[in-house]
Amino acid sequence: MYLNRFVNGQGKYIDDIKMDNMLYMAIARSPYAHARIKNIKGGLNSSELKAYYTLDDHAMREPVLAIDEVNYVGQCVAAFFSENRYEAEDLVNTLEVDYEPLDAVASIDEALKHPPVRHGMKDNIMETEEIGKKFSEKDIDFDLKVSDSIFMDRVLANPMETRGIVADYRDGVLNVYISSQSVHRMKAGIMKALNLPEDKVNVYHVDTGGAFGLKALLFPEYIIACYASMKYKRPVKWIETRTEHLQSAHAGRGIMADITLYAKKDGRITGLDGTVYLDSGAYYADADKVDMGNVVHEVTGPYFIENAHLTAKYVLTNKSLNGYYRGAGKPEASIIMERMIDLLADRLNMDIADIRLKNATEKPFKSPLGLDMNYPTKPFLEAALKHFDYYNLSKKEKLGISLFILDEDTAPGESCRIHVKDGRVHVYFGGDVSGQGHELFTQEILSNEFGIDKNLISLEYDDTVTLKDGTGTWGSRSGITHTSVLMKTAEIIKNDVIKKFGKYDSKLLLENEFNEYYYYKIDYNANSVNFNMVSCDINDINSIKVYAYYDLGKVINRKNVLGSIHGGSLQAISETLCETMRYSDDGQLITNNIADAGLLTADRIPEFNIELVENPSEFPSKAKGIGESPMIGIPSALARSIELQTKKRVTKFPIDDLKLFNKCMDL
């Protein structure tokens, strides 16, 4: 089968690309979290390349190469090039920089107290937004209120393959090969940063060894490599080291929330208010509005809460920038709400399931914060509790539960091209693959649609030449967008066969050439309701049991689904117990190798009890999303199981208990 090429070592990743006359790029990075650059000499620096790389023209956007100041450890200061990687790395040591160290802040708390670290600002709040409608206590009916602060430390994607790019300026056209989740987003960013016309940039996807949101983003190193290839008229390759990844790749989470719930004695929540702070890092990043937007719009989750208001604050710190990490604000929103509803249950001496049933919706509902809940959530919760026999099991095990909305990033849709040629079917998507197994559902669907052998179908590398438009792979969207556009495009191909021959026949399909492109437009984000239950024994870290009751719409390929649940669950457990990024008070990165980052390995996979529910969606494939569900549902449920045993409320992620960390890491 097509996937066997990975097993046989025949995948083609960025570092596998070799070109004649290639230059290797190495980056000189800031050793300071905050310092003024008084003088710089050597390499390609901002005296030559003054450019910015974000798609959003924000006043606080990051320059490609540091201009006048550095604002986090690992920031790009200069680039060096040589015939091999080792010589390029050696040249980094020739850079001469006169730094004047300045005060730095390395946490949300410290940034809120500290004088502004940037000129022209009155404080370290980059931006403030209000979401929902403000209300006063006299405006709502309540018997009690509960308040708490929830904190999620930063987490880095750490895919097996780090970032990388090959830029090849040839015959007046910049050809870019990249490890990415969207070649079209990369093209848009490169064009903007270097002021290049559309017909002068082509971007090509190659095999991507993991992404988790990180590779949906543009980075300064990509622009530097492209500029250098144009300057030297030679191919330029850059492959990120793991140390560089830890220092400068954009990190997710980094949220602090001060939340108050207002409720009646029977557990019905009548209001929610609070402030959410995002650790934006040293500059504005394109991910900021998405991450914060998901948090503040989705905090009410699957519950009917008529009054809700939040203040969102984007906080500047002297750290690498904020980025996407599997879920990008959705896990944060669920963790905040689920932890608060557990607190309310404890205050009212209610069962955690009963209080959720009290607040779950009995019909579709749009929250005051703007989240459309497309499905009633109470019947789903009732079915999940019954399926796992929660009320009996909770008498024997320390159970945590979570009910959550998976908001799927289906808008604005996706593109597909199907090219039938020489007896084979070649498929191209506008959203790139980073290990999710899109090949499996591509073969499954087209084998059924066309009535042909799966081995005659191959999913090809995406590029901006074959597909002029495309979106990307993220946000639990592929199971909906990619499968649906695939079916739509297949329908067009079948109609082409009928128009030409008067009937459809798979033999006629394969004996001729057909080439069709289609963009399936979706003007809204779909969503689904899901449920997790988790138990564990804190004296045996390998005892974790994950119960998942997930609505998949229609299961296209069970292997894909189970793989996503298993991998996502391990990631969720990891960031709940031990995975994080640590900084000193002056902004120096303490997590300076992958072992310190607290990643769990496959031998820590939990015990599973998974029920896949199939309530078909309105899309052509009838599918719903899955990729982010474990990351959203497991952390709060696991935290509840732990706090039932420790008798200590969990408000910080990862759970700041050295004994748990040591057990995870086998120290």
> What CATH number is given for 413-521 in this structure?
3.30.365.10
Strands 399-407 and 413-421, how do they pair? unpaired
Distance of alpha carbon 482 from alpha carbon 625, whole angstroms: 11
Task: For residue range 437-460, list pLDDT tens digits in order.
Answer: 889 899 999 999 999 999 999 999
User: CA–CA separation, 10 vs 368, rounded Å?
Assistant: 51
Q: What is the pLDDT of residue 639?
A: 96
Percent composition of the chain: helix, strand, coil (DSSP 3-state, to 5): 30, 30, 40
DSSP at 646: H
CB 535 within 8 A of CB 640: no
Domain locations along the chain: 1-102+158-248, 252-409+525-663, 413-521
pLDDT computed for residue 539 by the predictor: 85
258 pLDDT more than 50: yes
Q: Sheet harboring 424-429: ordered strands across?
A: 457-459, 424-429, 413-421, 514-521
Q: Over the chain, what is the mean pLDDT?
A: 94
Distance from C-alpha of 484 to C-alpha of 90, rounded to nearest angstrom: 50
Class of domain 1-102+158-248: alpha beta
Choose the weakest-confidence range: 46-50, 502-506, 517-521, 657-661. Answer: 657-661
Sequential DSSP letters for 91-104 = HHTT-EEEEEE---
Do domains 252-409+525-663 and 413-521 share one topology? The answer is yes
pLDDT at 166 over 50: yes
Helices (H) and strands (E) in the chain, counts: 17, 25
**Does residue 249 register a pLDDT over 90?**
yes
412 preceded by a cis bond (ω within 30 of 0): yes
With residue 289 as reference, give the H or E element that holds it.
helix 287-298
* pLDDT confidence tier of residue 1, bands split at 50, 70 and 90: very low
CA neighbor of 535 nearest in space, from 427, 321, 388, 658? 388
Q: Which of 632, 622, 475 is nearest to 548 (CA)?
A: 632
Quick one: pLDDT at residue 488?
97
pLDDT at 659: 64
Are 472 and 462 in contact, with CB atoms under 8 Å apart?
A: no
Stretch 359-386: mean pLDDT = 94
- Mean pLDDT of the region 59-67: 95
CA distance 619 to 518: 15
HSE on the CB side for 634, CA within 13 Å?
A: 29
Whether the upstream peptide bond of residue 654 has omega within 30° of 0, thus cis, is yes
Angstrom CA distances, 352 to 132, 381, 533, stand at 27, 12, 11
Q: What are phi and psi of 83, to 5 degrees?
A: -75, -20
Predicted confidence at residue 652, as pLDDT, reads 95
User: In whole angstroms, what is the distance from residue 253 CA to residue 268 CA?
Assistant: 29
User: Mind listing the pLDDT tens digit for each residue in 297-347?
Assistant: 999 999 999 999 999 999 999 999 999 999 999 999 999 999 999 999 999
Tell me: pLDDT of 126 over 50. yes
Q: Which residues contact 466 (CB under 8 A, 6 or more apart)?
A: 417, 428, 460
The sign of the dihedral angle between the CA atoms of 169, 170, 173, 179 is negative
CATH of 252-409+525-663, one of 3.10.129.10, 3.30.365.10, 3.40.190.10, 2.40.40.20: 3.30.365.10
Check: CB of residue 612 under 8 Å from CB of residue 311.
no
Question: Is the predicted pLDDT of residue 105 greater than 70, yes or no?
Answer: yes
Q: In angstroms, how far is CA 589 from the centroid of its own chain? A: 22
Cis peptide before 379 (omega within 30 of 0): no
Alpha-carbon distance of 625 to 408, in angstroms, equals: 6
DSSP code string of 182-208: -HHHHHHHHHHHHT--GGGEEEEE---
pLDDT at position 38, please?
97
pLDDT score at 541: 78
- pLDDT for 198-222, tens place per residue? 999 999 999 999 999 999 999 999 9
Q: What is the pLDDT of residue 3?
A: 53
Alpha carbon distance 616, 355 (integer Å): 28
In the structure encoding, which two tokens stand for residue 125, read together? 């709040």
Tell how far CA 160 is from the center of its chain: 15
Q: What percent of the chain has pLDDT over 70?
A: 98
Helix (H, G, I), strand (E, B) or coil at 51: coil
Q: Mean pLDDT throughout 511-540?
A: 94
Instruction: Check: CB of residue 430 under 8 Å from CB of residue 467.
Output: yes
Mean pLDDT value across residues 32-51? 96
What's residue 9's pLDDT?
82
| Residue 595 banded pLDDT, cuts 50, 70, 90 | confident
